[in-house]
């Protein structure tokens, strides 16, 4: 099953009956593959879009003009506007849309860690590990990914401190009034946003990250089952 593609896994999910052990394994494997597709697209392929330019290197070819300012042909226009996205990436994007931002972060962070792929170069400290992560190294444990979550989340497309405070804010009616006396509690609430960097992490412990990822994956298994019927 580890060598099967997403299309084969979806066919296996459709063929096996509900409650089958093989179907449950195929669901988990297909979810892993879709998460990996999303991670690879965020890390690499989303940076490879060349953009659209009103110039064609094919127009005027063979006329001896030596210029590329002729009429834009539709083939080269389509090639220049090409993005490295595929059917499975669209499915992964729709899959993760069923999660909250915090759950989406947990699933991608858990999928980012590949403990069975150690780095050949020894990592001596935190600085070396940070440089390795920036260089694309993914042979990390879940605890190491949690420690470097701010850097990993930026590599996955979130801005600095992205997701901090997710699911903590609520829309409440605020009654404003002038306070004639100093209030220490009001001052503490006002300066809560200026907490240190370590307090701005989305997941405080490895267990919190693991628990959030498990809940999100359990929710996505039903969605993968529904997607297998649509992709038939």
- The encoded tokens of residue 172 equal 């409440």
pLDDT range class, residue 89, cuts 50, 70, 90: confident
Q: pLDDT for 17-72, tens place per residue? A: 988 999 999 999 999 999 999 998 888 776 655 444 445 455 555 554 545 544 54
Tell me the C-alpha to C-alpha distance, in Å, between residue 51 and each of 43, 90, 121, 155, 187.
Answer: 18, 20, 36, 21, 49
In a domain, 108, yes or no: yes
In a domain, 179, yes or no: no
User: What single DSSP character describes residue 181?
Assistant: S
Per the prediction, the chain carries an average pLDDT of: 76
Distance between CA atoms of residues 49 and 57, nearest Å: 18
In a domain, 192, yes or no: yes
Strands (E), the chain: none
Percentage of the chain exceeding pLDDT 90: 30
User: What single DSSP character describes residue 57?
Assistant: S
In a domain, 174, yes or no: no
DSSP 107-145: HHHHHH--TTS--SS---SHHHHHHHHHTT-----HHHH
Mean pLDDT of 194-218: 81
Helix axes 206-230, 6-15, angle to 10 degrees: 70
Total structural domains within the chain: 1
Locus of tokens 């593609």 = 5
Mean pLDDT of 207-223: 94
Instruction: Residue 158: give the domain boundaries.
Output: 6-58+69-169+184-230
- Of residues 146 and 231, more confidence is placed in 146
User: pLDDT at position 114, please?
Assistant: 87
Per the CB < 8 A criterion, the answer to whether 108 and 156 are in contact is yes
In a domain, 63, yes or no: no
In a domain, 151, yes or no: yes
Distance between CA atoms of residues 203 and 216, nearest Å: 14
Instruction: Indicate if the pLDDT at residue 113 is higher than 60.
Output: yes
In a domain, 64, yes or no: no
pTM for the predicted model, two decimal places: 0.70
Per the CB < 8 A criterion, the answer to whether 56 and 73 are in contact is yes
Of 202, 111, 208, 203, which Cα lies nearest the Cα of 163?
202
In a domain, 126, yes or no: yes
């Amino acid at each position: 099953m580890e060598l099967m593609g997403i299309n084969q896994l979806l066919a296996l999910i459709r063929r096996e009956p509900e409650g089958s052990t093989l179907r449950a394994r195929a669901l988990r494997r297909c979810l892993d593959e879709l998460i990996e597709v999303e991670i690879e697209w965020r890390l690499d392929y989303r940076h490879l879009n060349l953009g659209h330019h009103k110039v064609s290197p094919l127009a005027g070819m063979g006329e001896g003009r030596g210029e590329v300012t002729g009429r834009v042909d539709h083939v080269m226009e389509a090639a220049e506007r090409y993005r490295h996205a595929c059917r499975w990436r669209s499915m992964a994007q729709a899959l993760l849309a069923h999660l909250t931002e915090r759950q989406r972060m947990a699933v991608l962070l858990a999928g980012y860690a590949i403990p069975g792929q150690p780095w050949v170069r020894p990592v001596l400290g935190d600085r070396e590990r940070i440089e390795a992560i920036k260089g694309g190294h993914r042979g990390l444990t879940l605890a190491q990914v949690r420690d470097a979550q701010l850097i990993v989340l930026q590599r996955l497309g979130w801005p600095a401190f992205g997701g901090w405070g997710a699911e903590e804010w609520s829309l409440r009616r605020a009654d404003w009034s002038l306070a004639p006396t100093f209030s220490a509690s009001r001052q503490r609430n006002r300066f809560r946003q200026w907490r240190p960097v370590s307090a701005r992490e989305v997941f405080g412990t490895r267990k919190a990250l693991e628990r959030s990822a498990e809940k999100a994956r359990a929710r996505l298994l039903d969605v993968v089952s529904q997607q297998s019927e649509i992709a038939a």
